[in-house]
Amino acid sequence: MISLRGRTALVTGSSHGVGAAIAEYLAKSGANVVVHGLDPTQVEAERAKCAAQGVSAFGVTGDLIENQPAGVAAVVESAFEQAGGIDLLVANAGTYIDTPFLEMSYELLDRTMKLNVYSYFLTVQEVARRWVASGTEGRVVLVGSINGRLSEDVHVAYDASKGAVDAMVRSLAVSLARRKIRVNGMAPGLVETPLTAPAFADPRFRAWMELHTPNGLVPGPEACASTVAFLLSDDAWHVHGQMLLVDGGMSIWQQPDLPAE
């Protein structure tokens, strides 16, 4: 397993789902972890899971949408104060809304962009300013989505936001590389989490996903975590501005096979 011992990571949106799997894997890799979320009970439960790996783990609650940019700054400040500094950042907090384009309200569009795009930008900015001031050689991973490359008819706002994250990874990498800050991204395909469980409860949907994925697998969120750990590690020292898709090959398969008769 990759070693991140001696490092401290802030993982936004890590009280459940993909973010929780990332936080736990980083802890198993030896990193101290700051868990972030909205629900104090969920944050504490996940913090305890990380601490059980024998590392220092901390919990921060805070809304990354309301009162931007001050709300984002407060979360970052709390993370630095509790942990005594951080040198790894995983921007993961996000949302998606199943709403057809012609029915999408401005309020839903605004909420999607504020969390999926603005909070990423502001969080990295707050953290990077501290790193530059202290001379810290930091590492950043932005969690994107296969939807940054592939489209769905009821996810126009979500698709657009994740396309922006794709571009942000490249731009931030160029902007921060000379500051000794390395920026990359990890984009999951559809993974099975409590959020997606209702869809996977339909056997036809699961069969469709397996059919359209070259390796035929639909994993849980733990499939994403090792990629994030690699991108944060010394082993990825020369990897800058890349969005690695963890999707079983779905994004590269133009013509999936027809179902068997």
Residues classed as catalytic: 145, 158, 162
Contact 7, 59 (CB under 8 A): no
Taking Cα atoms as reference points, which of 243, 242, 147 lies closest to residue 191?
147
Burial state string for 211-239 with b = 16 or more CB within 10 A and e = fewer than 16: ebbeeeebbebebbbbbbbbbbbeebeee
Taking Cα atoms as reference points, which of 9, 22, 17 lies closest to residue 38?
17
